[in-house]
Structure 1
Amino acid sequence: MPRFFCPVPLSPGADLSLPKGAARHVQVLRMQPGQTLTVFNGQGGQWNASILSMGRSDVVVRIMDHEPVEREASRQVHLAMGMPANDRMDWLIEKATELGVASVQPLMTAHAVVKLDGARAEKKRSHWAAIAASACEQCGGNRVPDIHRPMTMGEWLATDLPAIERFVLSLAPGSQPLATVMPPPGQPLMFLSGPEGGLSPQEEQAAISHGFSPVGLGGRTLRAETAALAALVQAVACPAG
């Protein structure tokens, strides 16, 4: 059944005009009044809905019953990522959402090619949030990850970071294998990962001074986006207790 993200309050019996993108998708699928679809608003679970009417550019549905379905990861994993170049950040956010990431913090670091500020930063954040919502529609997730405004590494470290286990992906000698220091099942954690070329030594030391433990993923050198996803997979593959 087609699924659509509708970030508005939902309740049984309410009539809802689908967001523009969802309405367009229904039109493309050639759906008709009387057919059913699924909507979710990111607050938990999903709702069955029936198409009431279709105009040239709008679709109205009636909300029916709520299904308390959750398909989230076994733990909350937050990812802070030095932005890779080109469209690799788009791909990373899509795949991280499919794997169940709780939030993504895009970072501008010393080796990052992408630099954003002001309106361009907010435009990119909105673009990535739409990618995350679309990925949830596709994969069955009912909670869309938070995609934060891009920040510099220094700005981000100066914020009130959550009091959870923190790891920085590192190639430095002496970094512990992630598998040996993984927190107990269900315990939330945060990963910090660099862009192409990794974090600078100064950035890595700054992270360590803010409570991040350096960890490695093995002997192979991984692309920036691959390393972040590999860490995420290890974290969410650990079953909840």
Structure 2
Amino acid sequence: MRNPRIYLNQALAVNTQVQLSDDALGHVVRVLRLGEGDPITLFNGLPKDQASGDTAQQQYTQYQARLVNVSKKQAFAEIESEQMVNNESPLNIHLGQGISRGDRMDFTLQKSVELGVQTITPLFTERCGVKLTGDRLKKKQEQWQKIVISACEQSGRCFVPEVKAPISLAEWQAQQTDALKLNLHPRAAHSIMSLPVETEQVRLLIGPEGGLSDDEISSARDAGFTDVLLGPRVLRTETAALTAITALQCRFGDL
């Protein structure tokens, strides 16, 4: 069985000891019931060459370690070796996801990270049924980031995508970018697989339950978004996001 992978937000190096965070301790010791001497894999999301901004060209390191000094309240990891990991897609996808209710949003974030998304911005739209402000909004963003970290631990990614602070759709559309901007539309001229362009960067807009309003679709076009098809059937928001990401990885990425 593969060693459990644990994210630690701190410097890591061979022949050093690091203390597990409370979240890591709870998962490794209390849930998996690992103990003294058991092997684990650590990563911190930092590229080997931090000067480079191209995630796809960067190499990341994960570290093989063993648990030491384990108790109910704390545990340490003795780092024994390191391994270079280069499993990031050549396609940089920034997902703009209309905030959906309950587990749908959590599911979308988790699976989009497994499929290789690099940045996620939750969006407030006209049909967004979730009201979040102040401390509730901050806590929700932190919860979403934890879901992303967990997905990286499971999927073998060492790069940790960022969940940006939620903003309005209009604000996200107005951001400057060189990426190909795509929005799903049932009467679009092209499917993702037949887009007559090549790209290494995509901004993908996905609406919440109920989709985007006509005005929002129109404003997306005005902001330079291209309408694309995802087949003849109507998909739920979480299905649409994951289907589109998969198609993009097949068309431009590493699937």
Q: How does 1:37-52 map to 2 (within 5 A)?
A: 37-43=40-46, 44-52=60-68
1:128 paired residue number: 144
Residue 161 of structure 1: CA displacement?
3.5
The correspondence for 1:177, drawn from 176, 188, 191, is 191
Equivalent pair of 1:125/1:147 in contact (CA under 8 Å): yes
Structure-to-structure mapping, 1:110-149, within 5 angstroms: 110-149=126-165
Which shifted more, 62-71 or 39-48?
62-71
* 1:96-137 alpha-carbon deviations (Å, 9 max, x no partner): 111111111111100111122222111111001001111111
| Aligned ranges 1:1-241 → 2 under 5 Å | 1-28=3-30, 29-43=32-46, 44-158=60-174, 160-171=175-186, 173-181=187-195, 183-184=197-198, 187-238=200-251, 239=253
Change over 3 Å in CA distance of 1:175–1:84 after alignment to 2: farther
Cα offset, 1:191, TM superposition: 0.4
Deviation at 1:183, TM superposition (A): 4.5
* Amino acid aligned to 2:249: V
Where do 5+ consecutive residues of structure 1 fail to align?
none
Indicate the SS of the match to 2:170.
helix
Corresponding letter in the other structure for 1:224: T
Helix, strand or coil at the partner of 1:110 = coil
* Distance in 2 of aligned mates of 1:129 and 1:123: 10
Contact kept in structure 2, 1:4 and 1:22, CA below 8 Å:
yes
Distance 2:163 2:188 in 1: 32
| Deviating 4+ runs (over 4 angstroms) | none
Provide the rounded CA distance (Å) in 1 between the counterparts of 2:137 and 2:192. 32
- The one-letter code of the counterpart of 2:4 is P
- 1:182–1:63 Cα change, 3 Å: farther
* TM-score w.r.t. length of structure 1: 0.92
Q: 1 CA distance for matches of 2:15 and 2:177?
A: 39
Give a deviation string over 1:168-227, Cα, whole Å, max 9, x none: 1123x344222111743x712110011112111111121122221111111111111101
SS in 2 for 1:126: helix
Instruction: Please state how far the C-alpha of 1:59 moved relative to its aligned partner.
Output: 0.9
Percent identity of the aligned residues? 34
Counterparts of 2:72 and 2:149, CA distance in 1: 24
What residue ranges of structure 2 are gaps of 5+ in the alignment? 47-59
Q: Give the equivalent residue in structure 1 for 2:53.
A: none
Q: How many residues align?
A: 237
SS in 2 for 1:54: coil
Deviations 1:130-171 (A, max 9, x none): 01111111111111111111111122223x333111101123
The answer as to whether partners of 1:116 and 1:150 remain within 8 angstroms in 2 is no
Q: CA 1:58 to 1:161, structure 2 compared with 1: closer, same or farther past 3 Å? A: farther
